[in-house]
């Protein structure tokens, strides 16, 4: 590629709208341009990187035996009504109507469509298992699109769906995908972690997320400092490690707590630790209201609440619902006299003489005790794990890190096949629903994550595997015949060697060219200048280390190839 004929609209200024590094650098490097909130043009340089991710994904999926197809992005509402998701999916689903007033949506995912394809053509166990995938543009009307390609509304996803005749087969398909995903993220040169993930209300199944570890991640990963346990915060198990104190129960009393609303404010006002307060949240589980109690210094975990009740939706109750459940105003809920069942976290079940909301404005009750003042309907794990908590697997300590979810694999079971009547005949001639799995990779998010993990103050430092060009050939004086002749020879040789070079043939100052090469993150630069040429040499600079070496013109391309080889092995 010739820089002068290519289109890389780099920016000198850091765009104000961008918060995270990958977003800033993608804009500055001329890789993307925003069209609307969460909707981006993939400019040529950005597209090359996206295609590289796609190529790796495609190769690994094909090697794992999955078969590529392409489904439409516009999907008829009927299919979503069959699966029951039309009403349930909410505002993330972009709903549209055609000229005949028929309802459609722009696909955020394709379980319905693939299930419809498979039920139309596969009717015998003899054709199973099968795993079909596509690489395609999705649309999700995210509440907060942000961070550029990291959380777009329109984005590219690889989604795969497996169909098996029985549970054992489905587990094999799942494991096959888990391994393929590991190969994909390794091939992309990313440092990642596979973590246990929440399966939501589908139940019985399992799920893993693939997290790229980065400070800008929106997900929290809990891992153990002594064993291999790793889980999304939503899922990380808190063990019941508490023993109830044998302290004598004191009589309870109401105290006024003016202007103190949050746990911290109440704790400061009463001069007690947050851990001696228990907070009560009123939650709507599907249609039902319940109270959930966690210790003052803990956070309630909605995913755990949802799973406990096998619910479809879980939401914090409204003002009116809180009044209905407690008889008191929002912000002062407590378990005593509550009109709905109260569930306690393990940590609360071990407390004695604690402080709770009194269901009265600006009032709390001291020395409350369950068993005496109220009863728990049940006790379970309802809170987020904290760093330092005991590991559920080995008793070690939890640590917390941030991660970007780049992939998600999920054993679905018969959720879609049962609701959409997708069946096959088993070897005894009986109709059975397919056992399904689904597997997603955020292709555009992978490109952004690679930048989050690989950058410095000058710009992007692409892992060789994803670099849009592997070598940048920089002739310092484009008007000098000797310099240009050598640069062209080197460029052509690199091209023949498949090293994907770009030659910066622009009539620009050296500084400008170097800055751009560094900003767009080309792993290796070969600089051809008059002075070094007089010695029969060129300079090779490695983007990652900044180290420059002088090498003879003869053999400089081999040296570049060797450096690239080394870089890709060290990723
Ligand atoms: P998130 O929790 O980040 O919203 P999700 O659980 O909704 O993700 P899935 O439905 O599992 O995501 O989609 C599969 C993959 O698609 C994700 O692992 C992620 O890499 C990618 N993805 C999901 N939403 C977006 C988005 N808004 N922008 C870019 N990539 C996305
Ligand atoms: Mg999402």
Q: What is the pLDDT of residues 339-396, one digit of tens each?
A: 999 999 999 999 999 999 999 999 999 999 999 999 999 999 999 999 999 999 998 9
Coil/strand/helix, residue 197: coil
**CA of residue 155 to ligand 1 center, whole Å:** 9
CATH 3.90.960.10 segments of the chain: 253-380
Determine the distance separating the centroid of ligand 2 and the alpha carbon of 34, expressed in angstroms. 20
Which residues partner with 539 through β-bridges?
Answer: 527, 550
Cα–Cα dist 473/547, whole Å: 16
Q: Cis ω on the peptide bond leading into residue 129 (within 30° of 0)?
A: yes
Instruction: Kindly give the distance from the C-alpha atom of residue 195 to the centroid of ligand 2, in angstroms, as a whole number.
Output: 17
- Does the beta carbon of 398 lie inside 6 Å of ligand 1? no
Q: Where are the beta strands (DSSP E) in 140-239?
A: 154-164, 192-196, 207-213, 219-224, 230-232
Say which ligand is closest to the CA of 137. Answer: 1
Chain centroid, CA 490 distance in Å = 41
Report the distance separating Cα 268 and Cα 432, nearest Å: 61
CA-nearest residue, atom 29 of ligand 1: 151
pLDDT at position 571: 59
Q: Where in the chain is the domain with CATH 3.40.50.800?
A: 469-569
d(CA 245, CA 517): 65
**Ligand 1: which atom is nearest the Cα of residue 210?**
18
Cβ(459) to ligand 1 under 6 A?
no
Tokens (6 digits) for 43: 């400019």
Distance of CA 126 to the CA centre of its chain: 36
Rounded Cα–Cα distance for residues 315 and 295 (Å): 20
Cα 150 to ligand 1 centre (Å): 9
Other beta carbons within 10 Å of 61 = 25
Q: For ligand 1, is residue 440 a contact (CB within 6 Å)?
A: yes
- Strand pairing report for 219-224 and 398-413: antiparallel
Taking the C-alpha atoms of residue 13 and residue 456, their distance in angstroms, rounded to an integer, is 16
Ligand that lies nearest to the alpha carbon of residue 408, given by its number in the listed order = 1
Is the alpha carbon torsion for 181, 187, 192, 193 positive or negative?
positive
Count of C-beta atoms within a 10 Å radius of residue 225: 13
**Ligand 1 atom nearest 145 alpha carbon:** 27
CATH superfamily membership of 469-569 = Anticodon-binding domain (3.40.50.800)
Task: Give the closest residue (by CA) to ligand 1 atom 13.
Answer: 440
pLDDT on residue 12: 86
Token representation of residue 403: 């991660």
pLDDT on residue 569: 85
Per DSSP, the three-state class of 533 is helix
CATH architecture of 253-380: Alpha-Beta Complex (3.90)
- Packing angle of the helix pair 556-569, 481-496 (nearest 10 deg): 50
- The phi-psi region of residue 388 (left if phi > 0; otherwise alpha if psi is between -120 and 50; otherwise beta) is left
CA of 231 to the centre of ligand 1 (A): 17
- Return the ligand number nearest the Cα of 219: 1
> How many C-beta atoms lie closer than 10 Å to residue 529's C-beta?
18
Q: Which of 459, 524, 353 is nearest to 27 (CA)?
A: 459
pLDDT digits (tens, 9 = 90+) for 70-107: 999 999 999 999 999 998 888 999 999 999 999 999 99
What's the gap in Å between 81 CA and the centre of ligand 1?
A: 23
E-strand ranges in 65-201 read 67-68, 74-76, 94-97, 103-106, 130-139, 154-164, 192-196
* Bridge-based pairing state of the strands 524-528 and 230-232: unpaired
From residue 406, how far is each of 194, 350, 542 by CA, in Å?
A: 10, 39, 28
- Is residue 152 within 6 Å of ligand 1 at its C-beta? yes
Bridging pattern class, strands 74-76 and 103-106: antiparallel
Compute the distance from residue 25 Cα to the ligand 1 centre, in Å. Answer: 21
89, 145, 205, 405: which to mutate for ligand 1, most atoms within 8 A of CB? 405
Ligand 1 atom with least separation from CA of 410: 11
Could you say which residues of the chain have pLDDT below 70? 200-205, 571
Cβ–ligand 1 distance for 157 under 6 Å, the answer yes
- Where are the domain boundaries for CATH 3.30.930.10 in the chain? 46-237+400-452
Identify whether the C-beta of residue 398 lies closer than 8 Å to the C-beta of residue 224: yes
Q: Which ligand is nearest to the CA of 409?
A: 1
Nearest CA to ligand 1 atom 6: 408
C-alpha distances out from residue 460 to 134, 318, 522, Å: 29, 46, 8
In the prediction, which pLDDT does 136 show? 97
445 lines ligand 1 (CB under 6 A): yes
Of the candidates 554, 564, 562, which has an alpha carbon nearest to the alpha carbon of residue 490? 554
Q: Which helix (H) or strand (E) holds 550?
A: strand 548-552
Closest residue CA from atom 2 of ligand 1: 405
For residue 2, what is the DSSP state? Answer: B
pTM, rounded to two decimals: 0.90
> Measuring CA to CA, which residue among 219, 177, 216 is closest to residue 198?
219
The residue contributing the CA closest to ligand 1 atom 21 is 442
Question: Is the separation of the CB atoms in 60 and 183 below 8 Å?
Answer: yes
Tell me what pLDDT residue 23 has: 96
If you measure from the C-alpha of residue 111 to the centroid of ligand 2, how many angstroms do you get, rounded to a whole number?
15
**What angle separates helix 44-63 from helix 443-453, to the nearest 10 degrees?**
110
CATH number of 46-237+400-452: 3.30.930.10
- Ligand 1 pocket mutation pick from 40, 185, 209, 442 by most atoms within 8 angstroms of CB: 442
Residue nearest to atom 24 of ligand 1 (CA): 151
Of ligand 1's listed atoms, the one at least distance from the Cα of 406 is: 20
Q: Which atom from ligand 1 is nearest to the alpha carbon of 140? A: 27
For Cα atoms 198, 439, 189, give the angle at the middle one, nearest 5 degrees.
100
Cβ atoms of 523 and 544 within 8 Å: the answer is yes
Does any ligand 1 atom lie closer than 6 A to the CB of residue 129? no
Nearest CA to ligand 1 atom 22: 442
Instruction: Verify whether ligand 1 is closer than 6 Å to residue 142 (CB atom).
Output: yes
As a dihedral over the C-alpha atoms of residue 369, residue 375, residue 381, residue 384, rounded to 10 degrees, the angle is -50
> What stretches of 258-354 show up as alpha helix (H) in DSSP?
263-270, 302-308, 319-326, 346-349
* Number of alpha helices (DSSP H) and beta strands (DSSP E) in the chain: 16, 31
151 lines ligand 1 (CB under 6 A): yes
Place of tokens 């003489």: 353
On the CB side of 348, CA atoms within 13 Å amount to 35
């Amino acid at each position: 590629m010739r820089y002068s004929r290519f289109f890389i609209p780099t920016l000198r200024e850091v765009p104000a709208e961008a918060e995270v590094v990958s977003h800033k650098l993608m804009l500055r490097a001329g890789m993307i341009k925003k069209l609307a909130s969460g909707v981006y043009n993939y400019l040529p340089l950005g597209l090359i990187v996206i295609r590289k991710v796609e190529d790796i994904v495609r190769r690994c999926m094909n090697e794992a035996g999955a078969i590529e197809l392409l489904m439409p992005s516009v999907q008829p509402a009927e299919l979503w009504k069959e699966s029951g998701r039309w009403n349930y999916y909410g505002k993330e689903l972009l709903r549209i109507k055609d000229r005949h007033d028929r309802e459609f949506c722009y696909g955020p995912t394709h379980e319905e469509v693939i299930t419809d394809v498979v039920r139309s053509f596969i009717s015998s166990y003899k054709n199973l298992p099968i795993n079909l995938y596509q690489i395609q543009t999705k649309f999700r009307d995210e509440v907060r699109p942000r961070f550029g390609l990291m959380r777009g509304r329109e984005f590219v996803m690889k989604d795969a769906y497996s169909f098996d005749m029985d549970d054992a087969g489905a587990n094999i398909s799942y494991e096959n995908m888990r391994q393929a995903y590991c190969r994909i993220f390794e091939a992309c040169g990313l440092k990642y972690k596979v973590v246990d993930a929440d399966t939501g209300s589908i139940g019985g199944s399992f799920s893993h997320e693939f997290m790229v570890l980065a400070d800008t991640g929106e997900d929290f990963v809990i891992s153990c400092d002594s064993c291999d346990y790793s889980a999304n915060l939503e899922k990380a198990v808190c063990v019941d490690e508490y023993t109830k104190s044998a302290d004598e129960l004191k009589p309870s009393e109401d105290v006024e707590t003016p202007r103190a609303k949050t746990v911290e404010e109440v704790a400061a006002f009463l001069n007690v630790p947050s851990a001696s307060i228990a907070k009560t949240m009123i939650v709507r589980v599907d249609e039902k209201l319940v109270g959930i109690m966690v210790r003052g210094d803990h956070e309630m975990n909605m995913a755990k609440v949802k799973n406990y009740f096998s619910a479809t939706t879980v939401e914090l109750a409204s003002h009116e619902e809180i009044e209905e459940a407690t008889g008191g105003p929002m912000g002062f809920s407590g378990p005593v006299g509550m009109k709905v069942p109260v569930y306690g976290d393990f940590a609360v079940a071990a407390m004695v003489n604690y402080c709770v909301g009194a269901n009265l404005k600006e009032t709390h009750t001291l020395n409350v005790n369950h068993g005496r003042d109220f009863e728990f309907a049940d006790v379970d794990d309802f809170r987020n794990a904290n760093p330092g908590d005991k590991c559920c697997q080995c008793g070690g300590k939890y640590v917390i890190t941030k991660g970007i979810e780049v992939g998600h694999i999920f054993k679905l079971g018969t959720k879609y096949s049962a609701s959409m009547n997708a069946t096959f005949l088993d070897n005894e001639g009986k109709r059975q629903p397919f056992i399904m799995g689904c597997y997603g990779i955020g292709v555009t998010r992978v490109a952004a994550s690679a930048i989050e993990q690989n950058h410095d103050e000058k710009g992007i430092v692409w892992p060789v595997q994803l670099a849009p060009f592997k070598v940048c050939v920089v002739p310092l004086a484009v008007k000098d015949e000797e310099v240009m002749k050598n640069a062209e020879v080197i460029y052509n040789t690199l091209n023949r060697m498949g090293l994907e070079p770009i030659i910066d043939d622009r009539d620009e100052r050296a500084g400008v060219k170097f800055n751009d090469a560094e900003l767009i993150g080309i792993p290796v630069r070969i600089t051809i200048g008059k002075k070094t040429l007089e010695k029969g040499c060129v300079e090779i600079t490695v983007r990652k280390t900044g180290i420059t070496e002088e090498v003879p013109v003869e053999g400089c391309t081999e040296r570049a190839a060797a450096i690239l080889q080394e870089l890709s092995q060290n990723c």
